[in-house]
Chain A
Amino acid sequence: MKRINRRAVLKGTIFGGTVVIGLPMLEAMLPAKGAAQANGAPKRIVFWFTANGTRQDLWSPPSNMDLGNHPLHAAMAPFSSKLIFLDGVDQSVAYDSIGDGHQTGMACLLTNAEILPGDLFCEGNCDAGNEKYVGWGGGQSVDQYLAGEIQKDVLTKFKSLELGVQVKSSSVWSRMSYAGPDTPVPPREDPNQNFVDLFSDLDTDPFALRAIQRRRRSILDAVMEDYDQLERRLGFDDKQRLEKHAQSIRDLERRLEVTTTFGEACTTPELELPGGSFEQNDVYPLTGRAQMDMLAMALACDLTRVASLQWSRSVSNVRFSWVPQVLNEGHHGLSHYDDSDPGAQSDLLEINKWYSEQFAYLLGLMDGVQEGDNTLLDNSVVVWVNELGKGNTHTRRDIPFVLAGGCQGYLRTGQHIDFGGEPHGKLLVSLTHAMGKPVDTFGVSQYSQGPLSGLAR
């Protein structure tokens, strides 16, 4: 049997433009059905990022958690019993760290670690002699920690899945996920490529798939020898750099033969792909929608148990041209007007409301996937994070955190808690507990002494 270049076939179709794809699942591909379900569906965690803070004055839910008339979160009303709103949780570590408001807000967000000194990214203050540059984030992020721990139990096709919507550049302002200090993890930003990377295995002939795996293994084995040979000749810094690369190859090799474990709902998703225009401002909603569709299906297929979806980046200046009420100015620009400016405040309301609608869309997808008695959403926790509390002050206090899904009953959902200034490191600790991979502290221990109280049942 000859190799079928499945990807080439798919690409030819996809890059031609917008296309709806729905492929029948091949019966031959089905392993013993419900292997995962037999032992209970796995827990999953998803981080969901939006930028530039929110309307803090409007953000809290009413005490009865009825969101139906909420100015920001009305779209999330159907899920209110599955949500927790966290008031009064601060990125305390960001105030110790070097770096500007957006840099620290972003790099500390999932790491609870201070930014590394370095000469990469411009920063400083008006006094001469102070630090003017910073490096990357200074610790492993909680998603990557959890991904590493979960892989000790089970090897999924992707260790973790980072998806981005028009993140574009790569800098300390645009990375929240870190494999370790100084090691940012880039998101997958092209939905067209993403579709191929995630789902092409599902409709490739299993024999052809095995041939591809065998071929890749042989090639990577040969390549590894080159890395070993070169590393021996390098100095300290370069050796470390190349070793990270080599480690990724070893990890890729390990995953080559992992086959998808199908949940009941797992199939190649039907979705609208944006084609080559996925980075254009006005295509932002369509790109985001495609990424959400694929994210939900990737979880349903158990391709990974740890994922993130990052909308733009800190200092996002996306122009919400598709929301008729919003003035034609970028998000970051708008976020800097004074609280008393009615036009800008109304625009920020519309922008954050739109993000709530997108959040509700993802929750709807996940809640629509039945896994035994639970839904995928019930088996997961989706964590809405933001680098700031509010844009015009760059405050990293009172970050608008929302948790969705109970993580298999671990979380006491359907409530709003005001923590009155607890450090966000404790939230990260809570998430490790929720996922069954508990740690006592995460990142800077001073700001992560145990979990937040009141979240767990």
Chain B
Amino acid sequence: MTAYRIKWLALAATAAISGCTGLVGDNGEQAVNDSVAKSLCVVDTPLRRLTRFEYNNTVRDLLGDTTRPADVLPPEEEVAGFDNQAAALTSSDLLIEQYMKVAEDVSARAVGNLSGLLAGCDPALDGADVCALSFIESFAKRAFRRPVSQSEVQRFRALFDWAMTDPDLGRFEDGIEVVIEAALQSPSFLYRPELGAETPLEGDVVPFTSWEMATKLSYMLWNTMPDAELFAAAEADALRSKEQIAAQASRMLEDDKARDLIRNFHTQWLLLTHIDSVSKDTSTYPSYRPALNSLWKEEIQTFTEHVILEGEGSLETLLTASYTFVNEDLASFYGDDVLETVAGPELRRVDVDPNRRAGFLTSAGLMATQANANQSSPVFRGKFVREQLMCDTLPPPPNDLVIEPPQLDPTKTTKEQFEEIGANAACAGCHNLMNPIGFIFEHYDGIGQWRDQQNGKAIDATGEVIQTDDVDGFYDGAVELAEALANSTQVQECVASQWFRFAYNRTVTADDTCSIDQLNQAFADSGFNIKQLLVALTQTNAFLYRRAVPQEPETTGGAL
């Protein structure tokens, strides 16, 4: 809740200044604004920096640069698995240095296609000045995702002119190159300032301008800059009503660019971000090879993308479908679980044994990442279900407790070994919340392959789920558990709140209650359809409005 505390401190500081100088408002007015904002569930919209993923997509759409240049930037700060949380994204000297170098590389590549950039203007025929100016005006508007001011145009113009006179530059394309280079380092490109329209709706609650809304929609649903149609709608100021916004959202979800969103979200939510560096013990798992890692990820991404964008689209299908996507290699990895013959390197849809596999929950990628190098991990798997699917927060082990994972005992099953942990009173309080859920997944070994036996003993995949809203009970195997999770209100609300965090780039706060209610209601009304949930995310007050940026009083110094 730090963000909140800081916000209130800031307001208190503003009030203190005004109290001393008598320059602005009064506390009564502030209180009215607070209650209006609270009753409407409207909070501040934080300034957001583009993630590497968004940067890559944006230069692809802005300049046709498909080299993923931002991959060299330092990694985003990860908060509970998500890399796009505005409050956590910090800047550093290294980041700023690399922004400069990435901008140099991107702009150098961009002027390789000069005529494409100039859109018909020919410096030789139309004059260098004319072409430079028209480029600056059109490019800056797209790069900044809003109309640019005369002073901004002049600034770029001055830079262009400087390049034309520099002894080491001097060519027309050099001037264009430095303009692009500067634009890519501007905060108007690197950040998304969404400050709201000038006229308040009520109190200090303001809607967004159509330009801001175009950008909000675009980064939320496509993880990239607006397309021509969104820009046109912004130009026409046609992104003001809920209906206009919903219509755009529905259109956007039919576009191929929505695939990025689905893949990006599920990679992060299902904790697959680091799956590429998973490394397994080949003496325990002879069928493991590193090339499987990327196939596992591709399977889950393709499956979730298909279910949501082309398939039936419900949360239930994601959790329980008895089909998946494999290629020949992956089919042979899954063995009998895949009920069809698959040839070739392309992933394609196949039916799987419904008694063994259920949606993404039992996919090899998920089972392998939530496991150790040489054995399954009931702890990791139980923790995954608790935290990612049920939104519970599990505490870490207490200070200075000797934590001893079971040794590999060739006479016992993993479950038998982990049950000994549960018997230890110091651990039981927390581990009874995780381990029994993990036991339900014991048919899947440390690389996610099905097993009926371990160390000569039959697998026992029963476990008791406790302390949940509506999933408590005994389960035998993950297929049974998946069915229960799919119909759990706790899970449905958790999924909605995970999407809220990912889409809005921030945590859910106490002031978001009515927006969360709006979202849960819409999700339920749609039969828990994810695509409808995404449209609903554009209809909440938390998305549509913000609190106006408090105008700082013109302090004359010494107020504090």
Contact = CB atoms under 8 A, between A and B. Distances in A.
A342 B399 CA distance: 24
Given A219-B185, A226-B186, A170 B72 contact: no
A333 B405 CA distance: 8
A66 interface: no
Interface string A182-198: 11111111100100010
Interface string B28-58: 0000000000000000101100000000000
Interface stretch (B130-138, B154-162, B359-367, B530-538): B154-162
Interface residues of B, number: 90
B96 A249 contact: yes
Contact of B2 (A116, A190, A248): A116
A370 interface: no
Interface string A223-243: 101110010011111100110
Contacts of B91: 241, 244-245, 248
The listed residue with most A CB atoms (<10 A of its CB), out of B1, B3, B88, B387, is B88
A123 B277 contact: no
Contacts, number: 245
A153 interface: no
B279 interface: yes
B429 A252 contact: no
A329 B372 CA distance: 7
B541 to A, nearest CB: 19
Given A132-B393, A338-B404, A185 B92 contact: yes
Given A126-B398, A238-B47, A238-B193, 16 more contacts: A7-B104, A121-B79, A184-B77, A185-B94, A186-B75, A218-B178, A219-B159, A222-B159, A226-B186, A237-B3, A327-B374, A328-B280, A329-B372, A336-B403, A393-B403, A394-B403
B100 A220 contact: yes
Contact of B97 (A197, A219, A328): A197
Nearest to A169: B78
Contacts of A169: 75, 78, 273-274
A193 B549 contact: no
21 contacts: A101-B396, A126-B398, A132-B395, A135-B2, A159-B93, A183-B90, A186-B94, A190-B72, A222-B159, A226-B187, A226-B188, A233-B549, A248-B97, A282-B279, A329-B281, A333-B373, A343-B407, A344-B407, A394-B399, A394-B401, A394-B403
A100 B78 contact: no
A188 B73 CA distance: 9
B550 interface: yes
Interface of B: 1-3, 5-7, 10, 13, 44, 46-47, 72, 74-80, 85, 87-88, 90-97, 100-101, 104-105, 108, 152, 155-156, 158-159, 162-163, 166-169, 178, 181-182, 185-188, 191, 193, 195, 273-274, 276-277, 279-284, 290, 372-374, 387, 393-405, 407, 429-430, 507, 549-550
A229 to B, nearest CB: 8
A237 B407 contact: no
Contact of B7 (A8, A117, A182, A237): A237
Contacts of B5: 117
Contacts of B105: 7-8
Which of B97, B156, B159 has the most A CB atoms < 10 Å from its CB? B97
Interface of A: 1-3, 5, 7-8, 95, 100-101, 116-126, 132-133, 135-136, 159, 162, 166, 168-171, 179, 182-190, 193, 197, 208, 211, 214-216, 218-220, 222-223, 225-227, 230, 233-238, 241-242, 244-245, 248-249, 251-252, 279-282, 319, 321, 327-330, 333, 336-339, 341, 343-344, 392-395
